[in-house]
Amino acid sequence: MGRKYQIISGDGHVETPPESWVKYMPEEYHERAPRLIKLPKGGEAWMIEGQPLIPNGQNISGRGPVVTEGGSYFNEDGSAAEGAGDAVQRLREQDLDGIDAEILFPPIFASRAIENIADKDVYRALVRAYNTFLAKDFCSVAPDRLIGNGVVPSTGVDDAIAEIEFLKSIGIESVSIHMFPNGSGIAQPEDDAFWKRSLEIGMRMSPHFGFGQFAPDLSSVGLGVSGDPFAATLTQRVGGIPPMYTMSQLICTGVLDRFPDLQFYFAEVNASWLPWGLFVLDDNYEIFKHSFQRTLPRKPSEYAVDHFWWGIIKDPMSIEMREHLPFDRLMFGSDFPHSVGTYPDSKKFLDDCFEGVDEKYKRMMLVDNPANFYGLDADADITETPAG
């Protein structure tokens, strides 16, 4: 019998020097691409058009210690640091951490930090280059263990649709969107074309934390200038918790009524706050629906538990609270190689969290839930780590 899934991490990150993926850009754009510069005190920083220097640090912590700058993608001998190597190195790091697969989110410097590049052709070429690298050089080595989330450009619905179609064509079936498909922080009617197309081609939505604005401007709640003001009002008391405002906009603008098959996985948001958060959504709805003359076909919490999934990192309380949570919609993530995760002790952390807990809950969070969301065969033999 071959190796089986025992632990699937629902939140890891690809961290790699920009030259790994910039090579897939058209040559005429290379001068505009991000690049690394060495810092006098050690480590590197990213030089990206439209941004101040961004030093490596928490993004490449590995097993620590955590630094805010001075981090490096390289060991002293020039080899790749933990979390910054190729796909085979990543599989070996999974083995060291006691996990079997990861959902791989993009590096923030290679996704969000490039949005300020003035020439949008260059920006879109960078997104396409990263996605190509992800599929061709990384996930293809073990697609059942290295499960990639592509990047979608924030330059409008047409560009977003074109990119998910490209991703599907190269074997990537999940995306980490950062803005609403229209490119702004708030929901717009034109987003429907993107939601429709994503369902048609089977593209999964895996935003990290959330997407769009994480919280409304409370000074304008109810005045009609904060996205959907009703959605903003429903997040009073919990508006600063990602992904509450994202969820509320999707509920209140009718997206989930028009597209009842849409599902969203929000990584690294934890879950022990959920019972209170969902109560507040419903309570605010009952308080304010008459003022806004707005009614929904269902309670906000009912939409939430049917359409949203949540990822925990270090949140053992959510396991203690398992009877009070939609536990069949929770996933664990190591967050490797970022700063707040559990590498290289993820298995021990989980064993401690689930000590004395019915095995069905452990199986649910660590295998069945991510397998259900990402369309994995939970009982299949998985790719062995290459020897050597």
Q: What percent of the chain has pLDDT over 90?
A: 90
> Is 75 among the domain residues?
no
CB 333 within 8 A of CB 103: yes
pLDDT confidence of residue 310: 98
Question: Mind giving me the DSSP string for 291-303?
Answer: HHT---SS-HHHH
pTM of the model: 0.96
3-state helix, strand, coil in the chain (%, to 5): 40, 10, 50
Confidence at 227, pLDDT banded by 50, 70, 90: low
Indicate if the pLDDT at residue 238 is higher than 90: no
Task: CATH number of the domain at 189, please.
Answer: 3.20.20.140
- pLDDT, one tens digit per residue, over 15-74 is 999 999 999 999 999 999 999 999 999 999 999 999 999 999 999 999 999 999 999 999
Residues in the chain: 388
> Is 253 among the domain residues?
yes
Residue recorded with tokens 């599907």: 168
pLDDT confidence of residue 224: 43
- pLDDT, one tens digit per residue, over 82-131 is 999 999 999 999 999 999 999 999 988 888 899 999 999 999 999 999 99
Q: How many domains does the chain have?
A: 1
Number of Cβ within 10 Å of residue 57's Cβ equals 17
> Is 47 among the domain residues?
no
> Is 14 among the domain residues?
no
pLDDT confidence of residue 317: 98
277-305 in b/e form (b: 16+ CB < 10 A) is bbebbeebbeebeeeeebebeeebbebbe
> Is 381 among the domain residues?
no
First CA to last CA distance, the chain: 22
Domain span including residue 154: 82-374
Indicate if the pLDDT at residue 219 is higher than 60: no
Please, what is the average pLDDT of the chain?
95
pLDDT confidence of residue 240: 78
Our measurement of the distance from residue 41's CA atom to the centroid of its chain's CA atoms, rounded to an integer in Å, reads 32
Helix axes 157-169, 191-201, angle to 10 degrees: 10
Question: Residue 103: enclosing H or E segment and its boundaries?
Answer: strand 101-105
> Is 224 among the domain residues?
yes
- pLDDT, one tens digit per residue, over 339-382 is 999 999 999 999 999 999 999 999 999 999 999 999 999 999 99
Indicate if the pLDDT at residue 80 is higher than 60: yes
Instruction: List the one residue out of 286, 331, 290, 287 whose CA is nearest residue 308.
Output: 331
> Is 141 among the domain residues?
yes
Measured CA distances, 238 to 193, 255, 262 (Å): 30, 21, 23
